[in-house]
Amino acid sequence: MVEAYLKDRGAMEAVDATGLMERLADGSVVVLDVRPEEEYLAGHVPGALSVPVDSLEAALQVLPKDKEIVAYCRGPYCVFSDEAVSVLTARGYQASRLTEGFPEWRAAGYPIERRDKRRSRE
């Protein structure tokens, strides 16, 4: 069932955690956390923007078209990032998905940020 639902995933550009860290370091990427906002607030990739997949259309007007956009969600079988990449590429953006999700990112020891409703940093 997963293979059938994710049949187009092979055609999508994908970035692994190491590649994302490199892109973050050189500032060549915009990272979108497409999970629900509550999950973003509990922890996210540093510098990621919270753009839940159901709010993506409204956010398109502020996303730069001259930078790569990498979307991530809950894990390798979460389809929110796939949906985001499909929407973005259909609108002319250079978009990729993170091969890992946020739980794998955190478990691997990569840096994270947390924000409460007042926007404080960890």
Position 113 in a domain: no
Is residue 119 domain-resident? no
CATH of the domain at 30: 3.40.250.10
Mean pLDDT of 49-58: 95
Residue range of the domain that includes 91: 2-107
Residue 120 lies in a domain: no
Cα 110 → chain centroid: 15
* Residue where the block lists tokens 């078209």: 65
Q: Is residue 42 part of a domain?
A: yes
Nearest CA to 114 out of 26, 50, 32, 55 is that of: 50
Is residue 44 very low, low, confident or very high in pLDDT (cuts 50, 70, 90)?
very high
Instruction: Decide if pLDDT at 4 tops 50.
Output: no
Tell me the pTM.
0.84
Q: What is the pLDDT of residues 58-93, one digit of tens each?
A: 999 999 999 999 999 998 888 899 999 999 999 999
Contact between residue 42 and residue 114 where contact means Cβ atoms under 8 Å apart: yes
**Which amino acid type is present at position 122?**
E
Position 122 in a domain = no
Does residue 64 lie within any of the structural domains? yes
Helices (H), the chain: 2-5, 17-26, 37-42, 56-59, 80-90, 102-107
Number of domains in the chain: 1
User: Token pair of 115, please?
Assistant: 């924000």
Write the DSSP symbol of residue 34.
Answer: -
Q: Is residue 29 part of a domain?
A: yes
Give the residue numbers marked as catalytic. Answer: 73
Residue 68 lies in a domain: yes
